[in-house]
Structure 1
Amino acid sequence: MKNRIGILTLFFCFNHLVSAQQIDTDSLLVAAYGYYRAQNFELAQEATELGIRLSPDYLDFQLLLGRLAQKKGDSEKAQDLFALVLEKDPRYEEAYLPLSRLYRANGDQSQAKTIVNQGLAAFPNNIELLLEKSKYLKGKSKRAYLKELEARFPNDSLLQATIHKKRIPVTADRLATGYNYTAFDREGAGPWHLASLAYILERPGFAIIPRINYNERRALGLSTGTGWQLESDLYLNQVNGNYHFIKLALGETPIFPKFRASYSHYFNIASSWELDLGARYLNTANKDPYAAVAGIGWYTGDHWIYLKGYATFDENYSYPSLNLSARKYFKDRYQFLGILIGYGNSPDDRVNLNRLDRFRALDAYSAGLRGQSPIGRHLILGVGFTYSYQEYIKDRFQNSFDTNLYLQYKF
C-alpha cells in the first residue's frame, strides 16, 4: 500500500515534478521492472504508465507495457506495443522475439517468420532469434541448421542445451522388449535371465512406461527361483523445464522386492545443468532399505555427462554408492554411445535389486558400455555390456558379466 501511495502521488503531481526536473525516469523503470519480476503486476502497470506520461519516447516503458499486456492475456495490445517499439527504433533488439512469438501464437506464421528474419538481419548473433528461426524449418533442413549453429557457437551453453532438447520429440509411442544375461566366474553360480516387455507412451507434459519383468536365476545347472514384477515409470514435466520422476513396482519375492518406490525431482539449475534430488524405498524379503539420491548432469553440445550418488540407510548406518555416465549423441536421442563406471550397490540396479539388503554394505566396482541406434524407420536396437568386480561375502569377490539387448518399435 505504501508503494502504491508513492506511485499515485507521483502520478497526480507529475506536471510539477517534470517542470522541476525532479523525476528520475531511469529509477522509475527499475522500480517498474522490480514490481514486474515480483509478479506485482498492478504496481508495475501504474509505474509503467507514469513513466510513459513523463517520457513518451522512452521505449523501455512501452516494451514493459507490452509484457504486462501479455501477462493479462491481451495479446492484441501487446502485439501493437511491440510493433510500435520497432517502428520507432528498428534497433531495439528485445522487441523482436516477443513480437514474433505473438504473431506465431495468433496463427500468422508468415509475419512471425518475417519478424525473426528482420531481427537476425540487425542482430545476426542473437541466440534466441537463431533458435526461434529453427521452428520454421523441418526435416533435414532443420537438422542441418541446428548442426551449423552448434559448430558456430560451440561455447554457448544456452544454445547447446536448447538444441539437445529440440532433438527430443514430444509425442512418441514405442513397444519395447529387453533381455539381460548375467554370468559369474564363481563355480556353480548363475547364469541369471531377466526379460521385460514395456509400452512407452510420450505426450507433451508427461511420459508413462508400464512394464512387466520376468526373472529366472540358476545355479549348478538348476533353476533356483523365478518371479514376475509389474512396474510403471511416470515423468511429469513442468513449464520451467523441471520435471518429476516416479516409479512404483510390485514383485514376487525373493526374486524381486515385494514393493519398490522411487522419486526424483530434476531441476534445471542453469541452461545446460540439471540437478536431481530424490529418494528410494525397497520392501524386500528380509529388510526394507531406503536411500537418498543426489545427482548432477551437464549437457554440452552432443554430449551428456551425469554423476549420481546414493546413500542407502539401515538403522544407524549409511552405505554410499556412486555412478558416473557419459553419452555422445548423434542424429537424435535415439542414437548414442555411452560409457559408465560405478562404485557400490545402487538401489537403481535392476539386476541385483532384490539383494540390496545384503549387498549394500559390500564393495563393488563396475564399468560398462552402451549403444543404441535406429534400424530403418520403426526399429531401435540397443546393446549394453557391464563388468562388475563384486564382494559377495565379506572379503570374497567374484566377477560378473552382464549383457543387455533390447529392441523398440516406434509407431
Structure 2
Amino acid sequence: MRLKRIFIVMMCLPVIAAAQSEPGADELLVQARKTAFDQKNYPAAIRLCQQALKGSPDYTDIRVFLGRLYFWNDQTDSARSTLDQAVKGNPQHEDAAVAAASVAFFTDKYDDCISYCDGGLVHHPRSRDLLMQKAKCLTAMRRYRDAVILTDTLLSLNKSDADARDLAFKIKDFRSANKIGVSYDYTHFSKQFDDPWHLVSVDYTRQTSAGSFTGRINHTNRFGEGGWQFEVDGYPSIARNLYAYVNFGYSPDMPLFPKYRGGFSLYASLPRSFEADAGFRYLNFDSDTWIYTGSIGKYYKSWWFNLRAYITPSNHRISQSYSLTTRYYLGGADHFISASVASGISPDDRTQSNLLNSSYKLTTRRASAGYRFSHKKLNIFTFDIGYANVEYLPKTRDNQITGSVGYQRRF
C-alpha cells in the first residue's frame, strides 16, 4: 500500500510542476497590461491575452482587453469581432459594452454604437461611460435633441462632470445654428470723467461645419460723443480638441474705439480637464500696439478656473496684465455664477480697451461677479457687476462701478 501511494505521488509530480510553471489567466492579464501600457508593445500583449484565453475562454475581462489591444494595434476588424463576442458572451458586462460602443463610434459605425450602448444601459442604466458614449454618438448623428437629454441626465447625476458640460456646450451650439444677442454696459466714474459711459452691442452668430462665426456692431457714448465699431469673430475648428479664435474690427470713431483691432489665439483641450491657449491682440490708435496673451484653464468638480496674462512690449518697458476668473456651475452649461479679479486693462474688454491709448501706463485693480442662466433652453440671460480702482494720473486714483446685462436667443 505504501509503495502504491509513492507511485501515485511520483506520477502526479510532473503535472504539479507544469501547473506551477504555467502562469494563470490573472497573471497573464497583469503581464499583458504591463506590456501594453509600460512598454507600448501591443503585439506581445495580444499574444499574452490569446494565451490566457486558451485556458480561460469565458474570461470576459481578458477578451475585452484583447479587443482594445487589437484596436490600438490598428487591427480594427479583429477588435470589432472580439468585442462583439465579449458582449454576446456576457451581456451584463459593462466594460464590454463600453469598449464595443467606443470602437464602433471611432470607426463611424454609429448604429452599432447605439445598439451596444442601449444593450449595456439595460443592465447599467446609470452608467456614466455608456451615457456619455451614447451622447457623443447621437451628437455625431446630429440627433441633438436626444443627445442633450443625455447630457442633462449626466449633469443631474454629477453636476461637476466637466466632459458632460463641455459636450452640452457643443450640442447647444450645433443644435441652434443661429444666435442673436444684445448687451448693455454702464460705467460710472467717481471723478475721472463727468459723465458715465454707455456701450450697446448687437451680434449675430452662425454655427457652421467649420466652426462658429459672429458679426457684431458696437455703439458707445463716451466723453459726450457717440461712436461705432464693427467686428467679426470666428472660432474655426482645426482638429479634435484644437480650435482657433480670430477677430477683426474697424471703427471710424477713434479714440472712442481703436481704428483697427485684431486678434488670434490657438486653443487646445488637454488631459485631466485642462485647457490652454496662446495668441496675440492688435490695437491701432495713433500707432500700433501688439499684445501677447496666454491662459491656462482647469475644470474641477463644479468649478472652472482660468488664469490669463497679457504682455505688451514697448521701447521703454513691458506692461503686464493678469486676470483670474472662476465659475461655479449650478446645473447645465448655461447656469453658473462667476467671479474675477484682475490687474491692468484687458484689450478684450470693449468697455475699457480704449484707455490703453495712453502714454501713462495705468495701474488698475478690478473685481467683478456675474450670474448666467437659461430659460426654456434657448433664452440666455447674463448679469454682471464690477468695481475698479484706477490710477489714471500719477498718484491720482479713481473708483469705477460697472454693470452689464445681456440676452441671447438661440434658434
Q: Does 1:177 align with 2:182?
A: yes
- Residue 226 (structure 1) shift: 3.0
Q: Write the deviation string for residues 8-67 of structure 1: whole angstroms up to 9, x where unpaired.
A: xxxxxxxxxxxxx9xxx99999788899x7xxxxx977x788879988748588525641
Q: Which of the residues 149, 157, 166 maps onto 2:157?
A: 149
Equivalent residues in 2 for 1:379-398, closer than 5 Å: 379-398=379-398
Q: Separation in 2 of the partners of 1:270 and 1:209?
A: 29
In structure 2, relative to structure 1, the CA distance for the partners of 1:91 and 1:297 (3 Å cut) is same
Q: Does 1:207 align with 2:212?
A: yes
- Residue 389 (structure 1) shift: 0.9
Q: Does 1:197 align with 2:202?
A: yes
Q: Is the 8 A contact 1:302 1:329 kept in 2?
A: yes
Equivalent residues in 2 for 1:220-259, closer than 5 Å: 223=224, 225-252=225-252, 253-259=254-260
Local SS of the residue matching 1:190: coil
Local SS of the residue matching 2:262: strand
Q: Does 1:107 align with 2:115?
A: no
Which blocks of at least 5 consecutive residues in structure 2 are unaligned? 1-21, 23-27, 55-61, 139-144
Larger Rg: 2
Which blocks of at least 5 consecutive residues in structure 1 are unaligned? 1-20, 38-42, 155-159
Opposite residue 328 of structure 1, the aligned amino acid is Y
Local SS of the residue matching 2:358: helix
In structure 2, relative to structure 1, the CA distance for the partners of 1:384 and 1:400 (3 Å cut) is same
Q: Separation in 2 of the partners of 1:403 and 1:109?
A: 48
Opposite residue 241 of structure 1, the aligned amino acid is N
Q: What's the counterpart of residue 269 of structure 2?
A: 268
> What's the C-alpha RMSD, in Å, of the aligned pairs?
3.7
Q: Separation in 1 of the partners of 2:377 and 2:153?
A: 22
Q: Number of aligned pairs?
A: 364
Local SS of the residue matching 2:163: helix
Q: What's the counterpart of residue 17 of structure 1?
A: none
- Residue 399 (structure 1) shift: 1.4
Q: Is the 8 A contact 2:389 2:398 kept in 1?
A: yes
Q: Separation in 2 of the partners of 1:341 and 1:130?
A: 37
Q: Percent identity?
A: 23
Q: What's the counterpart of residue 399 of structure 1?
A: 399
Q: Is the 8 A contact 1:321 1:343 kept in 2?
A: yes
Q: What's the counterpart of residue 340 of structure 1?
A: 340
Opposite residue 354 of structure 1, the aligned amino acid is N
Q: Separation in 1 of the partners of 2:366 and 2:164?
A: 32
- Residue 378 (structure 1) shift: 4.3
Q: What's the counterpart of residue 352 of structure 2?
A: 352
Q: What's the counterpart of residue 299 of structure 1?
A: 299
Q: Separation in 2 of the partners of 1:110 and 1:82?
A: 15
Runs of 4+ in 1 over 6 A off after TM superposition: 25-35, 47-56, 88-93
Q: Is the 8 A contact 1:170 1:204 kept in 2?
A: no
Q: What's the counterpart of residue 186 of structure 1?
A: 191
* Length-normalised TM-score, structure 1: 0.74
Q: Write the deviation string for residues 290-342 of structure 1: whole angstroms up to 9, x where unpaired.
A: 12212121212332221111111212411111111122223322222211211
Q: Write the deviation string for residues 382-406 of structure 1: whole angstroms up to 9, x where unpaired.
A: 2222211111112111112222122
Equivalent residues in 2 for 1:72-83, closer than 5 Å: 78-83=79-84
* Length-normalised TM-score, structure 2: 0.74
Q: Separation in 1 of the partners of 2:155 and 2:193?
A: 52
Comparing 142-151 and 185-194, the one that deviates more: 142-151
Q: Separation in 1 of the partners of 2:135 and 2:302?
A: 17
Q: Separation in 2 of the partners of 1:369 and 1:27?
A: 53
- Residue 197 (structure 1) shift: 1.1
Opposite residue 235 of structure 1, the aligned amino acid is Y
Q: Is the 8 A contact 2:155 2:165 kept in 1?
A: no
Q: Is the 8 A contact 1:212 1:228 kept in 2?
A: yes
